[in-house]
């Protein structure tokens, strides 16, 4: 799930990227950035897949 706020409306414009970067790092992922003049910036987030541990009761 992702919740997005426009940087123009945000009290701290970079907070969303800061939080996302922390979550990605915590899970061993990475963020790739591509920027092209006139077309904007794209952020690609990759987080390794981990199977949930099985639980026996």
So what's the pLDDT on residue 1?
59
Digit-coded pLDDT (tens) for 6-38: 777 878 877 777 888 898 999 899 989 898 888
Cα distance between residue 4 and residue 28, in whole Å: 22
| Residue-wise burial string across 16-31, b where 16 or more C-beta atoms lie within 10 A, e elsewhere | beeeebeebeeeeeee
25-53: average pLDDT: 86
């Amino acid at each position: 799930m992702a919740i997005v706020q426009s940087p123009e409306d945000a009290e701290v414009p970079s907070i969303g990227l800061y939080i996302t970067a922390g979550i990605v790092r915590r899970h061993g992922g990475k963020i790739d950035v591509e920027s092209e003049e006139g077309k904007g910036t794209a952020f690609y987030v990759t987080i390794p897949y981990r199977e949930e541990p099985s639980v026996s009761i």
